[in-house]
Amino acid sequence: MRGRPKEFDEREVLERAMHLFWLRGYEGVSLVELLRHMEISRQSLYDTFGNKRALFIRAIAHYRDTQLVAALALLERDGSALENVKDVVRFFQELAMDSRCRGCLVANALVELGPHDAEIAALLREILDLLQGSIERTLLRAQAQGELDASRSPGELSRALTNAAMGMAVTGKLPLAESTLRDICAGTLGMLR
Amino acid sequence: MRGRPKEFDEREVLERAMHLFWLRGYEGVSLVELLRHMEISRQSLYDTFGNKRALFIRAIAHYRDTQLVAALALLERDGSALENVKDVVRFFQELAMDSRCRGCLVANALVELGPHDAEIAALLREILDLLQGSIERTLLRAQAQGELDASRSPGELSRALTNAAMGMAVTGKLPLAESTLRDICAGTLGMLR
């Protein structure tokens, strides 16, 4: 920062970078496009975020702190724990219905960079683990409330539901009919019968 | 071909191209790497396949004709239709366990190019529809055999299972413990109870 005051809102420019990466991937976005979209200078980007890869990591963390946090908040509501889990599946259905077919930044980054970048893979795994762990705890609560049979495994179901959410992120890359995504959601919720 | 006999087995070089795209994506592979891996000359590639994008489309079609066809063959076996469906889910679990974390070429291509290339998106949708349609028919057979409750919707379940297969393709981009993938598979099969 070299002691100068920043002339932009860091969170706001990070939000813009996140949306561009989400839509177009990591390699699909040039530094020039990022700068234009973030409305900051090259020097400001380097001073504040480091390089493009470091900015991408910050954008994924910002995605965790906004999108993932919204999903976790659904799970933590009072009331029916089972309905909370169903609502989180519907949350991913909504994501897949987005007409821009941008899917999910976590799934996109996993496919594009997961096998080739250990640091990014670790961050993505942390995000998936947060979601899975929160679903598992909510399913345990559903069992305690008598909404889910005690014989079912919250560990297995939470992993399968997190996997289904990643599936919707990929499937949503096609401009599918809403009825198809509703079918996917309904079939997936069949796990919780 | 300009009348000259080909000096290579088209199917074999296509197989090699498919494996390289599967492992590294479309943009992640340069033409020079493709030529080295396929062991053909630039002129041969242009004469036989056209350009890199046309080769990629042929590689996806080859994936359909080998990998997808193997999954469909599982569904078409005699015996328990429900077990056939379960075996196809396990087939995708195996794919996700591959230590190279290459996932599935269809899911990879969907994420990388789906929203940006209508011709490739149409081919990928065709492949997903083939899988979903075949699972649906097999579930109808399972209902006729009394293995699956008549109240369940083969349309919903087959779409949810195809979606779960795409999820495994993404999840498999992380080097997961085998037990995690077994949990995902077991939870997913919970749809068919």
* Interchain CB distance below 8 Å, B160 and A100: no
Q: CB-based contact (8 Å) between A170 and chain B?
A: yes
For residues B169 and B102, the answer to whether their CB atoms sit within 8 Å is no
* Interchain CB distance below 8 Å, A187 and B156: yes
The pLDDT tens digits for B10-69 are 899 999 999 999 998 998 899 999 999 999 889 988 999 999 999 999 999 999 999 999
Residue B112 CA to residue A151 CA, distance in Å, equals: 40
The pLDDT tens digits for A7-32 are 788 899 999 999 999 998 998 899 99
- Position B5 scores a pLDDT of 56
Size of interface A-B (CB pairs under 8 A): 158
For residues B112 and A112, the answer to whether their CB atoms sit within 8 Å is yes
Residue of B71, B45, B74, B43 whose CA lies nearest to B58? B45
- Position B1 scores a pLDDT of 45
- Position B61 scores a pLDDT of 96
* DSSP codes joined into one string, A106-171: HHHHHHHHGGG-HHHHHHHHHHHHHHHHHHHHHHHHHHHTTSS-TTS-HHHHHHHHHHHHHHHHHH
Q: CB-based contact (8 Å) between A167 and chain B?
A: yes
Binned at pLDDT 50, 70 and 90, residue A114 comes out as confident
Q: ipTM of this predicted complex?
A: 0.91
How high is the mean pLDDT of chain B?
91
Please list every residue in chain A whose beta carbon sits closer than 8 Å to the beta carbon of residue B162: 171
- Position A6 scores a pLDDT of 65
Task: Say if residue B87's pLDDT is above 80.
Answer: yes
Q: Which carries the bigger pLDDT value, residue B9 or residue A160?
A: A160
CA distance to B71, B86, B162, B177, per residue, from B92 (Å): 9, 10, 10, 15
Terminal-to-terminal C-alpha distance of chain B? 55
Task: Say if residue B85's pLDDT is above 60.
Answer: yes
The pLDDT tens digits for A129-162 are 999 999 999 999 999 999 999 999 999 999 999 9
- Position A181 scores a pLDDT of 92
Q: CB-based contact (8 Å) between A90 and chain B?
A: no
The pLDDT tens digits for A47-64 are 999 999 999 999 999 999
Q: CA A128, A131, A137, A141 torsion: positive or negative? A: negative
Tell me the nearest-neighbour CA distance from A11 into chain B, angstroms.
Answer: 27
Task: Say if residue A5's pLDDT is above 60.
Answer: no
Q: CB-based contact (8 Å) between A148 and chain B?
A: no
What average pLDDT does the segment B140-145 reach? 97
How high is the mean pLDDT of chain A?
91
Domains with residue ranges and CATH for chain B: 63-192 (1.10.357.10)
Q: CB-based contact (8 Å) between B183 and chain A?
A: yes
Binned at pLDDT 50, 70 and 90, residue B113 comes out as confident
What average pLDDT does the segment A73-95 reach? 95
CA distance to A93, A107, B48, B131, per residue, from B166 (Å): 14, 11, 31, 11
What is the CA A92 to chain-centroid distance, rounded?
9
Binned at pLDDT 50, 70 and 90, residue B177 comes out as confident
The pLDDT tens digits for A159-183 are 999 999 999 998 988 888 889 999 9
